[in-house]
A and B are shown apart, each in its own frame.
Chain A
């Protein structure tokens, strides 16, 4: 059974600092996604990573994928308050089903 684990589950950090969220998954998958969820809202797609060594960046967020280690990272650079949210990674099982991690609740303090 495919399992996806994120850490940390809770992260409180100050504005301007850098940090990394980790996502490990247990079996081979051909796609990894990062989503953002604000309280009471839906999930917003951030990144889709398809191949080993893939790196994508959008603003202060950068995601990378190491398929050999079954590890993805979401790096936050010089955090700002607007990035406070819960971040989920998800991998595909079969062609379509997404298996989600538990989520990392990120709080950025002024």
Chain B
């Protein structure tokens, strides 16, 4: 069963627009939520991460919004650029000290010039 559900599976956005990718989880023991970015032919790389005690984290054009009561979190990419075209994965860690991450299904983002 998929412990972290990610949507949409694919997304096309015009250059300069806002890209939004959503994730939902059920396990309230999850305590750390990273996002990974993967370019074709490369492995995923950590992009940005959030803990559930904050509702938002921003790094440049990338923002994570976190809704603890709804058990949902989302990645927003402002002023989307063609270089942002990649596959994005949300993930969750089960508790402090846990070594494993559970990943969402991935979203293939395409930014049209």
> Does B bind A?
no
